[in-house]
Amino acid sequence: MIRLLRFQATRVALLSCLLGFSVTSVHAQSPERLKAVLSDSGTHQAAIAGGKRASSFCANCHGVDGNSKLSEVPNLAGQNPIYLLNQVNKFYTGERKDPWMEPAIRLLNESERLNIVAYFTAMRVVPARSGSYSRAGEQLFHRVCARCHGPQALGGERFPRLAGQQHTYLIQSLTRYRDRTGTRMEPEMLAMTAGLSDSDIRALADYLSGLR
């Protein structure tokens, strides 16, 4: 499924290059502009409507309502808008690496990027895997992670929501930080994952993916 979509994405990217829609300027989107949009309910609703229209391609993997159907693809629903916009910017500038997400984000214009963030983050999260509770994961989370990600893993502007996130995505993300693969090199997360074993990571994913 992912392979097929990645292939389609490459074709879209190639086509738009041929048609001359290539990206010329690399402007990271400003969090202040998003905050202004979120603080006015009329503008917010308009952004959500625009984001729904602009996100049909993203929905192939992230789900129409931002709840992914694929365990390796993160939910975007319910995520903190400022966190998500910053990640979009990181893909845009290449600071965060993913062979498909970087070109996909660069095909969007500024308003589309902002609107898509407004749309997905306004959706409700359906916890990825319920009934997967791990007591070891809960204890480890509260000892090490909660001070940044929050006691209920709901996150904030700088720290992503982890509650209800996809199980495989959590495992892959934590493993890549720990192994310093270079896809994401955020220093706090490199430090926080350095001492985790594979079974710690699995326990954390079991606990977090079932949280509401």
What residues line the site for ligand HEC (CB under 6 A)?
2, 5-6, 9, 57-58, 60-62, 72-74, 76, 84, 87-88, 98, 100-101, 104, 108, 116, 144-145, 147-149, 158-160, 162, 170, 172-174, 183-184, 186, 188-189, 192, 204
Question: Is the Cβ of residue 42 or residue 105 nearer to ligand HEC in the bound state?
Answer: 105
Question: Is the Cβ of residue 41 or residue 127 nearer to ligand HEC in the bound state?
Answer: 127
Distance CA 153, CA 144 (A): 12
Radius of gyration over every alpha carbon of the chain, rounded to an integer in angstroms: 17
Distance CA 210, CA 126 (A): 9
Q: How far is the CB of 88 from ligand HEC (least distance, A)?
A: 5
- Residue 38: other Cβ atoms inside 10 A: 17
Give the closest residue to 192 by CA, choosing from 138, 149, 128, 133: 149
Distance CA 97, CA 125 (A): 25
- Residue 8: other Cβ atoms inside 10 A: 12
Q: How far is the CB of 102 from ligand HEC (least distance, A)?
A: 10
Question: Is the Cβ of residue 74 or residue 164 nearer to ligand HEC in the bound state?
Answer: 74
Distance CA 177, CA 15 (A): 34
Q: How far is the CB of 131 from ligand HEC (least distance, A)?
A: 20
Question: Is the Cβ of residue 82 or residue 108 nearer to ligand HEC in the bound state?
Answer: 108
User: How many residues can be counted in the chain?
Assistant: 212
Q: How far is the CB of 17 from ligand HEC (least distance, A)?
A: 16
Distance CA 105, CA 94 (A): 10
Nearest 5 degrees, angle CA 77-CA 81-CA 84? 80
Question: Is the Cβ of residue 44 or residue 184 nearer to ligand HEC in the bound state?
Answer: 184
Q: How far is the CB of 42 from ligand HEC (least distance, A)?
A: 23
Q: How far is the CB of 39 from ligand HEC (least distance, A)?
A: 21
Question: Is the Cβ of residue 44 or residue 57 nearer to ligand HEC in the bound state?
Answer: 57
